[in-house]
Amino acid sequence: MASVVMNASPRKVEFFRHDLGEEEIASFRDTLSSLFLTTGPRVAEFETLLATYLGVAHCVGVTSCTHGLHLALLALGIGPGDEVITTPLTFVATANAIVYAGATPVFADVDPATGLLDPKAVEAAITSRTKAVIVVHLYGQMVDMKTFRALADRHHLALIEDSAHGVEMRRDGIAPGQQGDAAVFSFYATKTMTCGDGGAVAVRDTNLDRRLRQLRYHGISKDVMARHATPYAHWDMVELGYKAGLSDIDAALLIPQFGRLEQRRHKRELVVRGYRDRLEATPGLSFLRVEGISSHHLCTVLTPKERRDDLLRDLGQAGIGVAVNYRAIHGLTYYREQHGFRKGQFPHAEAIGDRTISLPLWPGLPEDDIDYVAERLRDLMRVGG
């Protein structure tokens, strides 16, 4: 995340603050005094809680969303020679996972009104080698999963949801994981639910669940907890897997957060509404359209392209934590040089990426901080306009 370095402004509004506290400390202490620290009973408890929360049959805890996306692609049988279509308006992890799996990333443009992957652009990018689509529920807003499920079924493609931006989002009564073949979550430090670093993959299919568990533990057929529960027996390694299991320490921090998810989401919604109420009428500023229930992971405002980088600098100098989510990733050096993409290929994603600024957002961000951020931005727009 491209956070802008701030100078020594007297006032500081952090980009993000977590609210982990006494409940997480108590849960962490319980785990420290238990037998397991690694992928054990707390992870199993967390997986059941998340599966129930989402209304999806299985969840598999992993070390990060990045690794979860990688394992989901492998579990779905995607590899060299296959093409996977995704959005260029995302964090690099989405496309990197495709490369890790040995497949070829293909980008399709976004809807300029929402920033979400455009199903028509995806359909146009399908070739005989296309095997999967990774949609990204951008900033906490879900794509229209009914449309993408129908598209995937029509073309016999696997459908993966990059749901790094929240577990709380819903659209048409659908949760991440209910329509996709796999939905992958991030519990990175700035995410709406966090343990510092962690992730999970939600799947409906029992066989996929088994494959993911195997892949997250070296491709060994029997996991640590199963081995502990029974007398010693030789185990086998049946495929090349990875070391990517969530730990009980991480799960201990995540479990107490279920009770606060909705309250936190509501508080973030109030912050976003606060920014929109204060800024929507400002000439030169606009917001993307939001449909369904957003997790409100990020609040982005669109600014004039030629002024965006100066605004980032000036907001930073005013002590305001800002970021850019995201400069369209097909324009980054690696994707240009190694995968042959060029600027100008996905104009809607680029237009958003060149104009967007993410504002400070966390549950309980004080009202006078929202005022301060909005006033500074309005002042800067007035001066430069």
Q: How far apart are CA 13 and CA 56, in angstroms?
A: 37
Out of 51, 65, 110, 212, name the contact with ligand PLP by CB under 6 A: 65
Closest CA to 273 of 302, 296, 239: 296
Among residues 64, 130, 192, 303, the one that binds ligand PLP under rule CB under 6 A: 64
Per annotation, catalytic residue among 12, 120, 131, 191: 191
Distance CA 34, CA 132 (A): 41
Binding mask 130-159 for ligand PLP (x = CB under 6 A): ------x-----------------------
Using CB under 6 A, which of the segments 13-21, 162-170, 346-354, 360-368 binds ligand PLP?
A: 162-170
Select from 13-21, 64-72, 216-224, 257-265 the region that touches ligand PLP (CB under 6 A): 64-72
Task: Decide if 305 is catalytic.
Answer: no
Candidates 93, 117, 142, 249; binder of ligand PLP (CB under 6 A) is 93
Give the number of other Cβ atoms within 10 Å of residue 152's Cβ.
22
**Binding test (CB under 6 A) with ligand PLP, winner from 27, 87, 178, 186:** 186
- One-letter amino acid identity for 365? L
DSSP sequence for 317-337: HTTB--B-S---GGGSHHHHH
Minimum distance from residue 91 beta carbon to ligand PLP (Å) = 4
Identified binder of ligand PLP from the candidate list 106, 145, 164, 249, rule CB under 6 A: 164
What is the DSSP annotation of 205-267?
-HHHHHHHHHHTBTTBSS-HHHHHHSS-----B-S---B-BPPHHHHHHHGGGGGGHHHHHHH
What angle do the packed helices 65-75 and 206-215 form, to 10 degrees? 120
Site string for ligand PLP, 271-300 (x = CB under 6 A): ------------------------------
* Residue 162 touching ligand PLP (CB under 6 A): yes
Select 64 or 130, whichever has its Cβ closest to ligand PLP. Answer: 64
CB of 238 to ligand PLP, least distance (A): 26
Measured CA to CA, the distance from residue 376 to residue 159 in angstroms comes to 42
- Catalytic positions are 191
